[in-house]
Structure formats: C-alpha cells, structure tokens
Amino acid sequence: MSAVEFLPLRTAMERHVQDGMTVALEGFTHLIPFAAGHELIRQRRRGLTLARMTPDLIYDQMIGMGCASKLVFSWGGNPGVGSLHRLRDAVEHQWPCPLALDEHSHAGMAVRYTAGAAGLPFGTLKGYTGTDLMTANKSHIATIACPFTGEPVTAVPALTPDVTILHAQQADREGNVLMRGIVGASREAASAAKALVVTVEEMVDQLDAPMNAFVIPAWRIAAVSVVPGGAYPSYALGHYPRDNAFYQAWDGISRDRDVFLAWMTTHVLKTSTHAEFLQRAGALA
Amino acid sequence: MTAYTADEMMTIAAARRLANGEVCFVGIGLPSAACNLARLTHAPDLVLIYESGTVGTRPTVLPLSIGDGELAETARTVIPLPEIFTHYLQRGRVDVGFLGGAQIDRFGNLNSTVIGAYDHPSVRLPGAGGAPEIAAHVRRLLIVMKQSARTFVDRLDFRTTAGFLDGGDARDRAGLRGGGPQAVITDLGELTPDPVTREFTLTAVFDGVTADAVRAACGWPLRVADRLAKTAPPSEIELRTLRALHERTREAHSHRVRLTLNR
C-alpha cells in the first residue's frame, strides 16, 4: 500500500507517463480526461500505446500531434458527427507517423480490461463469431474450447496499461475518489492498470457517497490532481454538460492538417494550464 | 397528406417494427430517433438500453453521443459497460437491436471497418463498436441504411458484423444464437430475408417508389417479392412527433457550453 499524492497536473503526468508506455485514458463519452491528454501533448510524449474503447477527440488530438505509435480500441468515430480525421490520416497516410492497430469490439475490449483487472492472462466471451476481425487481429483474438463442455468460446488477452488516467467529480482530503453517472469500463481499466492517476473537478471534505457508489479508495491511486473542467469538451455530470456544439465544430478543425496544427498550437501548446485552455477555447462563462 | 422526406419515412418505418414492452439495444443516429419515436407513439413501455450503460432511459431530446448526460439522468439505472455486454446482451436479455453500416451484402452481413484492404484502407471507418455482439445475441436485428449501389454491395470489403453469413443455415452452424437480421429498412422500402436461402428480398416499397428504382440502387441482382407491399405513408401523429423530437434536439445541441469554475 502506498500513499496517494496530490500533485499539480503537470507534475503528475511528468512523474507517471513516460515515452513508450501503454496508457489508457478511459471514460465512455462521459468524464474523458481531456486536461491530462492535453498535458501529455504539451510534454511531447512519443511512442505511446494508447488504449481506449472510443478514441474520441482526445486521442484524435494526441495521434495528430504525434504522441502515439499504437492504438488499442473498438470504435474510432466522432460520436453522432462522423470520422476522427486525424486517426484516419494516420491509418490511411501514416501522418504524422505510422499507427499500429490492435482492434476489437466493445464487448472484447470490456473483457480485456476485466481480465486485466482480475489478474488473469485472458478473458472469454461469446463474440467476434463470423467476423473478419478474428483474422485481421489474430494475435489478439482466438477461439478456444470450454474445458468442461467443449463449447467454443472466444478468448482475448488481458489488457494491463502501465497507467490508467481517469477524470472524476470529487476527491476527499484523503484522496478517495467518487465517480457519478456513466462509467463505461473505467472501473475495470482502473483495476487493470499498474498505476492509476485521477483528475477531479473538486476537492471536498466529505464525499457523501451512497453505500454502493463507485468510490476508488485512496490507497489504490498513485496521484490525484484537482483540475476543474478537466473533462471539457466531454462532460462531468452535475458540473457541466457535454459541449455537443464543439464536437460538431471539431469536424471542421480536424479535417485539414494545417488547420488542426494551428488550432492545437494556439489552444494546447501555447497554453500552460487547463484553465488557460478553457479560456482560449471560449469555454468559460 | 403533408409532404415528408425519405429520411422521415425510413425512421417511421423502422419505429413501427418495435413492439410495446420489448427490450431494445439502441445505437446513435437514426436508430435512436426510431426507438424514441416508437416510445413516444405506439410503444410507451419500450425499454431502451444504450451501450454506455443506461438502462430504461427516456430522453426528451436525442443524444448526439451514446453517453450524453440526458441518457443517464432519465435512466432507471446506470451500470458499468462490461455488465451491459455480458449480463444483458450476452446472457440473452435483449429482444431487438438496431444497426447500420457503410456496406451490406445480400445476406445482411455488415461492414463498418474499412473500404479497401484492412492493412492499406482507402477509407478507414470507425470500426465495430458494439455491432458484432449485438448482431450475435439479440432475438431479432433490424438494419437501417440508405440504399445505393455503392453501399448495397455484391461483396463486402470487410465483414465487421455477421448477418446470415453465406446464407441458408450458415448462421446456425457458426453457433450464433440470436435470430439474425429480420429486416433492412432503407430510404426506398423494406427488405426481408427469404425463409430458406436467407437472401434479402424487396417486400415493400415506400409511396412513389418503383421496384426498378430499388433494383437500380442495389449492387447485387435484387430479388423482388411477387406480391410487393406498399409501406403506409407517415400518419399525422408520427410525423408531428418525429419533427418535434428533432426540433428539440437541434435546439439543445446548438449552444456552446460555458463553464463556471469553482476555485
């Protein structure tokens, strides 16, 4: 058991994320840790293996800025809008660098995290049957027989990120963290990781969590950073809604390499904190 | 009769195929519109499950993403995503699923992964998401896709999701337990599978659409039923409810979000 540290976001990222690591910034549409992703872009991390069920805008940005050499994922679109253009450019034209894919279905990714969380070498599901994913990714998807009945089931290897990064609503002063609303596979990704770093909207004296709430005990967490607005343009239930208009606007920003680079330079590279980013993005009241 | 668009007819035809009380796994876009239209008209007790983990949700505006706050706040319960895919879908507790794709073949197999070769695609599409296991496990699958010879293809570039595979009993032999695709609803009409060969056959057309027009918008030699039905045009209430839903949604999504940070 090690003590959680309260760290400024920059220090937390410097200390826990190094080039070449496997990193999972999870959160299913909700509570996506954008501030942490932007900080990794500012620190110019390279050669990361990025895992996320839905890469979303944050991985589109990290891929376009050259942080990633591999993507582990199950659905790579801009939800309700269309393509992730930077992801497409990386796969179709190797820009700004080649990107290897370890591609799954949502059910398969969920099982991979669940196996990792349980300390098992692999997990099983009834999935992928009759699909070309089984041949396209045969090093990570296999059919095995149930040892008791002989029934065929699909196996996928455990996913154990070096670091999982989550965003949550609250931490108390001991560093226990409470997450409310849609959690996706965050619990499993948190438990599967070797180290867990959490950014939160606010620090409170008491979490006031219902008994069965999703609370991560402080001793499971390596570092907590207080970053208000840290999920924007994703959202934090009870704090601010998803900026659907920004998700729609991203389609235009990300389509062209130069427009994308100019936007990232202005909004991420030339800002030093998330609060500054929010101000420059016109997201503050 | 009020004028209506092909998109509206398609959404309404899809909504009509949902029965009150069914448990429905909902995807974003047209399926979400169709499911909520059904819930607001003939199927008030339709149970909507979105893969983000929201069970029994009753949104007043359509979500842009599969995990908008609106879905969580109007749900009976919000559970972890792995539980949605195992305890609900894989365990066989979902009646209906709704899917689309970039390409479909005559046996209802779908591609949402790549155009071209997997390793060197000319177009990289979003990928599988929940589709392969939704199609595997639901009792009946509905497919909604705009029809064109480019998307209704003789041969898929990549099979992301299994329909009836090579037709006949291929699906059963592969061990897929769900019932497979029961209808393909397009912007021109409705296709249903032949009971033996499982090849999709045109069985209904929308008002003003000819069988030849549907054949021309299909990349394989499309079979047409001897007795071709006509899909009933939208009723006033269907059209009014759908338009109001879209109007509320447009309004809700048109504003940028402004944060007030606690410090």
SS (H, E, C) chain A: CCCCEECCHHHHHHHHCCCCCEEEECCCCECCCHHHHHHHHHCCCCCEEEECCCCHHHHHHHHHCCCEEEEEECCCEECCCEECHHHHHHHHHCCCCCCEEEECCHHHHHHHHHHHHCCCCEEEECCCCCCCHHHHCCCCCEEEECCCCCCEEEEEECCCCCEEEEEEEEEECCCCEEECCCCCCHHHHHHHCCEEEEEEEEEECCCCCCCCCEEECHHHCCEEEECCCCCCCCEECCCECCCHHHHHHHHHHHHCHHHHHHHHHHHHHCCCCHHHHHHHCCCEC
Amino acid of residue B113: T
Distance from CA of A73 to the nearest CA of B (A): 9
Q: Are A126 and B65 inside 8 Å of each other by CB?
A: no
Q: What residue of B is the nearest CA neighbor of A82?
A: B126
Tokens 């007790």 belong to B45
Confirm whether B24 is domain-assigned.
yes
- Give pLDDT, residue B262: 63
**Which whole number is the average pLDDT over A174-200?**
97
Q: What residue of B is the nearest CA neighbor of A76?
A: B126
The Cα–Cα gap between A175 and B140 comes to 47
- Domain span at residue B127 reads 6-252
Mutate to test the interface with A, among B73, B166, B251, B257 (most CBs of A within 10 A): B257
Length of chain B: 263
Distance from CA of B52 to the nearest CA of A (A): 6
Interface check A134 vs B, CB under 8 A = no
Mode of pairing for the β-strands spanning A214-216 and A48-51 = unpaired
Q: Are A106 and B128 inside 8 Å of each other by CB?
A: yes
Q: Are A246 and B257 inside 8 Å of each other by CB?
A: yes
The model carries a pTM of 0.96
Q: What residue of A is the nearest CA neighbor of B124?
A: A88
Q: What is the ipTM of this complex?
A: 0.96
Q: State residue A227 phi and psi, 5-degree precision.
A: -135, 90
**Which whole number is the average pLDDT over A251-280?**
98
Window 168-187 of A: residues touching B by CB (8 A cutoff) are 181-187
Confirm whether B15 is domain-assigned.
yes
Handedness of CA A7, A8, A14, A17 (dihedral sign): positive
pLDDT digits (tens, 9 = 90+) for A194-208: 999 999 999 999 999
- Give pLDDT, residue B121: 98
Confirm whether B75 is domain-assigned.
yes
Residues of B in Cβ contact (< 8 Å) with A125: 85-86, 90, 133
Confirm whether B63 is domain-assigned.
yes
In angstroms, what CA-CA distances link B161 with A20, A42, B122, B156, B250? 33, 39, 20, 11, 31
CATH 3.40.1080.10 domain position(s) in chain A: 5-104+160-280
- Give pLDDT, residue B27: 80
Interface check A262 vs B, CB under 8 A = no
pLDDT averaged over chain A? 97
Interface check A130 vs B, CB under 8 A = yes
| Token couple for B127 | 């990928």
Number of domains in chain B: 1
Please list, in sequence order, all residues whose beta carbon lies within 8 angstroms of the beta carbon of residue B136, skipping any fewer than 6 positions away: A126, A127, A129, A130, B162, B176, B177, B178
- Give pLDDT, residue B239: 97
Q: Which residues of B are catalytically annotated? A: 51
Report helix, strand or coil for B129: coil
In angstroms, what CA-CA distances link A246 with A243, A279, B254? 5, 14, 10
pLDDT digits (tens, 9 = 90+) for A37-80: 999 999 999 999 999 999 999 999 999 999 999 999 999 999 98
Paired with B259 in beta bridges are A284
Sheet of A122-125: strand order equals A122-125, A152-157, A142-145
- Give pLDDT, residue B63: 85
Q: Are A29 and B68 inside 8 Å of each other by CB?
A: yes
Q: Are A110 and B65 inside 8 Å of each other by CB?
A: no
**Which whole number is the average pLDDT over A230-257?**
96
Alpha helices in chain B (DSSP H): 6-16, 30-40, 69-73, 81-83, 131-137, 170-173, 211-216, 236-253
Amino acid of residue B189: G
Residue B148 neighbours by CB distance under 10 Å? 15
Q: Are A130 and B176 inside 8 Å of each other by CB?
A: yes
**Which whole number is the average pLDDT over A243-261?**
96
Whether A167 has a pLDDT exceeding 70, the answer reads: yes
Whether A31 has a pLDDT exceeding 70, the answer reads: yes
Q: Are B165 and A187 inside 8 Å of each other by CB?
A: no
Q: State the burial class of residue B247 (Cβ atoms within 10 Å of its Cβ: 0-12, 13-18, 19+).
A: exposed
Tell me which H or E stretch contains B227: strand B223-230
Report helix, strand or coil for B169: coil
CATH topology of domain A5-104+160-280: Glutaconate Coenzyme A-transferase (3.40.1080)
Whether A1 has a pLDDT exceeding 70, the answer reads: no
**Which whole number is the average pLDDT over A251-279?**
98
Report helix, strand or coil for B245: helix
- Give pLDDT, residue A30: 96
Paired with A216 in beta bridges are A177
The count of C-alpha atoms lying within 13 angstroms of the C-alpha of B262, restricted to the half-sphere facing its C-beta, is 11
User: In order along chain B (263 residues), what is the average pLDDT of each group of 10 residues?
Assistant: 89 97 90 94 96 93 84 93 97 96 97 97 97 97 96 98 98 96 98 98 97 98 97 97 94 86 64
Among the partner-chain residues A110, A201, A282, the one whose CB lies closest to the CB of B82 is A110
The Cα–Cα gap between B35 and B78 comes to 19
